[in-house]
Amino acid sequence: MIVYSEDNIHETRRRGRIEVICGSMFSGKTEELIRRLKRANFAKQRVEIYKPAIDTRYSDAEVVSHDSSSIPSTPIDSSASILLFTSEVDVVGIDEAQFFDDGLVDVCNELANNGVRVIIAGLDMDFRGKPFGPMPNLCAIANEVSKVHAICVKCGQLASFSHRTVKNDKQVLLGETMEYEPLCRQCYLQAIEIDNK
């Protein structure tokens, strides 16, 4: 008969998982990511956080939410870099996942298969209402998907769309309230109709 210590039992039960937090701009995705990561830190888990190097809106080296909550992070240019920094970690947080390359899906799968809890936040749709970057595939492989909503600035209903208020056709345009507004489906369709006139 083999007797395991409590520590050994804990290690053998460690289960990797992928959690995706998605929604429109101003819906609280990053705020929820930070909340989960801070809880993991409080529980003395080993946590690493990554964000795309191109996202310098609030800080070069921190993940910062619209309500100014923040947590230290490592800015990276490629999803493959995550694997270089993640030995001996329990939890990996990834913000603005829509800006990463499609390799992020394999990276997250590899981490979860090795027992790491992976928490990802990102826009599920771009300003055209189309699936954004690796987010659809991340949602497909996730153990849990949390879709969060903003409030429509036109009618007060739940908002799922990020309407771009400036003229620019590039898919990636970093911005805030001067460049984007959260809208419900009906108000988004009306705004697009006006934009196209």
* Separate counts of helices (H) and strands (E) for the chain: 6, 12
- Which amino acid, 39? R
Amino acid occupying residue 41: N
- The alpha helices in the chain, defined as continuous H runs, are 6-12, 29-42, 80-85, 104-113, 135-141, 185-195
Whether 144 and 129 have beta carbons less than 8 Å apart is answered as no
Sorted by sequence, the CB contacts under 8 Å of residue 156 that are 6+ apart come out as none
The Cα–Cα gap between 122 and 99 comes to 8
User: What CA–CA distance (Å, rounded) separates 96 from 22?
Assistant: 10
The tokens of 106 are what? 């394999």
Exposure of 167 in the CB half-sphere (CA atoms within 13 A): 4
Listed in sequence order, the residues at least 6 apart from 99 whose beta carbon sits closer than 8 Å to its beta carbon are: 52, 54, 55, 122, 133, 172
Residues acting as catalytic residues: 96
